[in-house]
Structure 1
């Protein structure tokens, strides 16, 4: 199993303290790839994510996840944050990161980037509204057309909306 963190990949099967290994998919070699996501272990064995994953789909900072027997995870409680993941072939410039940060500050969003700056993660409260979130991303993408971005926890693998923001 390969493990990918925000800063490096390793062959370790155990994430460092303060992290949980979440299944991100299968690598080119057919091996499972896990991302080391900052998290707090809860008394019941579940984990509360303290950051939004860069590769893992389906969850965001604040969510509570339970690891499953098949190596995956299940979100048992959502904290109301939308995850956005952005990637570029080279690396994002400081100006591109600042532009995105400025776009999300009025929405109470947080932009995170690893030191290598090949991806960005945005965590924004769903209460900001999808219209405002999409407008911020469209404005930024117009300035950074080489970037690819997607919602990390809005759609299922088949493209259908998860609709978690309509429940409880």
Structure 2
């Protein structure tokens, strides 16, 4: 994978998130640090890509497919609703995960949210925070984006 060294904020990598209904690939661009030729350490957790989190070291192919070479110390939790989430619901989640400690991020359109929390925080604490937050929002679901754990609330 060729890093985007033109970016003023550092290197970015393009990971395959899936395919659109037309069959065209869908990519997510994420901040990363070049470790060596085809190895990158993720500097941010993905909002659409499954299987990785901030801090993971990935081997990335030119087509955006990747392999986690070294697992980092973070969980990636992803959330989305039936439509854009409200700024108030996002602010409530930011506040709730800060106490874990963790960090919530979202694009300006608020169609999805990604939360990064250290693996030292137990799963029950994360599930409690996410379930409590999601219970107040119709149609929202959340899941662990980098493990075979799943949880959701409707």
TM-score range (shorter-chain normalised) is: 0.7 to 0.9
Aligned to 1:53: 46
Query: Which residue number corresponds to residue 92 of structure 1?
Result: 85
State the match for 2:22 in structure 1. Answer: 29
Unmatched segments (≥5 aa) in structure 2: none
Decide whether aligned partners of structure 1 residues 126 and 106 sit closer, same or farther in structure 2, where only a CA change above 3 A counts. Answer: same
Q: Is 2:134 the partner of 1:141?
A: yes
Q: Deviations over 1:114-168 (max 9, x none)?
A: 1111110000011110000000011001111321211101118xx8xxxxxxxxx
Aligned to 1:114: 107
TM-score (normalised: structure 2)? 0.85
Is the CA contact (8 Å cut-off) linking 2:32 and 2:44 kept in structure 1? yes
CA RMSD of aligned residues (A): 2.1
- What TM-score do you get using the length of structure 1 for normalisation? 0.78
SS in 2 for 1:102: helix
Deviations 1:80-114 (A, max 9, x none): 11111111232111210111112111111100011
CA, structure 1 residues 26+153, in 2 after alignment: closer, same or farther (shift >3 Å)? same
Q: Match for 2:36 among 43, 57, 71?
A: 43
For 2:129 and 2:33, locate their aligned partners in 1 and report how far apart those are by CA, in whole Å: 30
Greater per-residue helix proportion: 1
**C-alpha deviations, 1:55-104, integer Å up to 9, x for none?**
10000011110014764100011111111111123211121011111211
Distance verdict in 2 for CA 1:48–1:14, change over 3 Å = closer
Q: Following TM superposition, where does structure 1 have runs of at least 4 consecutive aligned residues deviating by more than 6 angstroms?
A: none
Q: Are 2:129 and 1:152 equivalent residues in the alignment?
A: no
The one-character-per-residue Cα deviations of 1:14-46 (angstroms, maximum 9, x if unpaired) are 867421011111111112222111112223431
Q: Which runs of 5+ in 1 are unaligned?
A: 1-12, 160-168
